[in-house]
Amino acid sequence: MDRVNQPSRHLIRNMMTGSIRIFFAEVLIIPVGFITAVFLARQLGPVNFGLFALALRLITWIEWTSLGVFYSATVKFVSEEDDWRAVGTTVVRLYLIVGGGIAALLWIMSSPLARAFNEPEMAIYVKLFAVDIPIFSLFSVHSSILVGRGFFKERAWTGSSYWIARLILIVLFVEMGLSVSGAIMGVIGASMVGLMMSRFFVRPPVFSGAAFPVRRLLSFSAPVFMSSLSLRMLRLDVIALKVLGATAAQVGFYSAGQSLSIHTSLLSGSLSPPLLSTLSRLIKQGDESKAKDIGRTAMRLVIWLLPFAAMTAGAATEIVVLIFGKEFMSAGPILAFLIFGAVGFIGVTMARAIILAIGKPGWTFLVTGPVLPIAFIGYLILIPWMGEVGAAMVTSCATCLVMLASFLAVYKLWGILPPAKTLVKSVFCSGLALTMAVFWPVSGLVVVLKLVVIVVTIFIAFLLLGDFTAGEVALIRTLVRKRAWSEEDEIEA
């Protein structure tokens, strides 16, 4: 019995330690993102910051949508197949073709896009940003291979390198007087650093070696891509806001609020890929019971995040003023709505990792596709009426609706849901956090103290309510024990 369970226990520990490592690497997006956003907002002003944010959102959306074609499939097949190099070779070749083609198309469409946005300067920004697409695509493909192979520590190093390089290069080029173009060059340079670091750790053959059957990748990836496309369409809220008549300054306010909420999604980037890799390995080993336990805990994690979102919503204006200054006060209500959408996005990615691990990729599109037309109708109605706040409301509500549908899909396929008592306790803690945030007005650096006090209160409330199971406490203790980081465990990983 021990021989059967030992590989499972090792996979679980490897997933948790790997997730923690990737989380602390990706958590750099918080200070880096804050510093970068504050630096650019103050250096460029609302108008130029809005133009940069608009161009960045367009390119980021294209990059992550195109990556959605094979990213999850790469993690799954690399974790399951004996010959991972064949999978890597096929995916790298595909992304060279896809990334290069998209970059060329975007270069051609730069002028029409600038006219659509009614911002002539956007043409040169779009052309410059197009260079980043094939570079970032290859960087991300190599990262997915690292995750599939269980090399979570190496994946953490590449993520850290990317975010640190991004901050340094953006500040350097903007201080050189290159303005928006300099900020874009900093993003491109960071992608190059990330790619070089990834190639240092893993080198799938590009022009030689056996190739994995493209048909298998396409059959698995097609519904996943449609799901990613539908979900990513909700990330075009900034584009919809501008097209429907918002000024560049309004886009800047929206982007400021969004920059403070979107960092929450780093949890999805640090947890969902290791979750997919680990669940796939456990299911392949026949340990479905343990896989279900992990999946249920991942869904509970999303419920635990609700009080922290409520806290952020209650103190949204204070947070925005502290970070960006009173000039960006209008971003407060935007952040108050978008923070819940960020939590919803984490829930979607957790549920999707479970659905993909059990081999049901078609269900990912089934739960996301129907929400897209609802969101578009919402944008058309609420943006002209309520402006940027209306866009935030639609984005958050639509994302949370997808999360709910995704959780129900997991229940239909696998029979697991987060316990109802966890939801009740989380709602209670959310009400407590929101009340403290709203009825304790502060300003300046005291906002930080206020948030720390509320966070501690949330943790104490959860402990007193007894929502953490004995198994979860034991797992946390296992993770911090010295032997969990021993050389033997590293070699086995």
Both tokens of 192, joined, read 């190059």
Cβ-based neighbours of 322, under 8 Å, separated by 6 or more: 443, 444, 445, 447, 448
Q: How far is CA 483 from the centre of its chain?
A: 31
Which of 453, 463, 408, 415 lies closest to 433 in space, CA to CA?
Answer: 453
The whole-number average pLDDT for the span 334-346 is 92
Q: Are the C-beta atoms of residues 468 and 422 closer than 8 Å to each other? A: no
pTM of the model: 0.70
Give percent above pLDDT 90 in the chain: 27
pLDDT tens track for 46-79: 788 888 888 887 888 787 776 666 777 788 788 7
Highest mean pLDDT among 244-253, 409-418, 459-468: 409-418
Both tokens of 263, joined, read 């960092």
Q: How many CA atoms lie within 13 A of 482 on its CB side?
A: 0
The span from the CA of 45 to the CA of 216, in Å, is 49
Q: Are the C-beta atoms of residues 128 and 471 closer than 8 Å to each other? A: no
Both tokens of 450, joined, read 């206020």
Q: Are the C-beta atoms of residues 132 and 59 closer than 8 Å to each other? A: yes
pLDDT tens track for 282-304: 887 777 888 888 888 888 889 99
For the chain, count helices (H), then strands (E).
24, 0
The whole-number average pLDDT for the span 460-481 is 66
Q: For residue 205, give the H/E element and its range.
A: none
Average pLDDT, the chain: 81
Both tokens of 451, joined, read 């948030």
CA dihedral 306, 261, 162, 74 (to 10 degrees): 60
**pLDDT surpassing 70 at residue 37:** yes
The span from the CA of 189 to the CA of 132, in Å, is 8
The span from the CA of 432 to the CA of 252, in Å, is 32
The span from the CA of 304 to the CA of 122, in Å, is 41
The span from the CA of 154 to the CA of 157, in Å, is 5
The span from the CA of 83 to the CA of 71, in Å, is 17
pLDDT tens track for 88-110: 888 888 888 888 888 999 899 88
Highest mean pLDDT among 274-283, 388-397, 426-435, 439-448: 426-435
Which of 43, 379, 424, 365 lies closest to 225 in space, CA to CA?
Answer: 365
Cα 185 to Cα 35, 101, 182, 315, 352, distances in angstroms: 17, 20, 5, 34, 34
The per-residue DSSP string of 360-411 comes to -THHHHHHHTTHHHHHHHHHHHHHHHHTHHHHHHHHHHHHHHHHHHHHHHHH
